[in-house]
Amino acid sequence: QGIRALRGALEGRYGCEIPLGHPVIPWLVLHASFLHNRFQLGHDGRTPYQRIKNKPFNRPLVEFGELVLCKKPKMEIGPGLYKYDDRWSEGLFLGIRPSSNEAWIGTVEGTIRCRTIHRKPISERWKMDKLQEVPGVPWAFGAPDLPGPTTEEELCPIVDGHQLGGDASAEGETA
């Protein structure tokens, strides 16, 4: 339910249908599980987070896929950081990292973790071009796209759940 609700909200904000193969979908699934663990009340009236930590989750959140300003950590910038360098950049909010409560932000350069984010004005929060620039998926931050089948995999037929390695007649299959 949470995944469908988040996807519907995201599609409503951007005014288009988000295909299942879009790189933002795996982030959406991770964020849905995060929200479930932090806010879904159990039979005892407590969330899973409250049962473990003995306190409610109290960090403010922004809506999934919202364009925000994030303050890049010094470690992300590297040794060339100077006092006059700008550490703020624009990116899409992709969720919260459960182990450290850092925000995952999708920027043009890649996906980064940061602690400080600021919301943009309402008129600037939902830009389609920024959604198209989501650089990667949770298992490959800089990957431009989801991995697809190779040309050989596309051309090889699947029979009885097994992929044939070439012509079906060469494997002893007959019509």
The whole model's pTM is what? 0.72
Tokens 């919301």 correspond to 119
Spatial neighbors of 36 by CB under 8 A, at least 6 apart, are 2, 48
Distance CA 131, CA 118 (A): 18
Contact by Cβ (8 Å): 28, 96: no
pLDDT at 120 over 90: yes
Per-residue pLDDT tens over the stretch 48-94: 888 888 988 888 889 999 999 998 776 666 666 666 667 788 999 99
Per-residue pLDDT tens over the stretch 93-112: 999 988 888 899 988 878 88
Distance CA 90, CA 111 (A): 11
Lowest-pLDDT range of 53-62, 81-90, 152-161, 163-172? 163-172
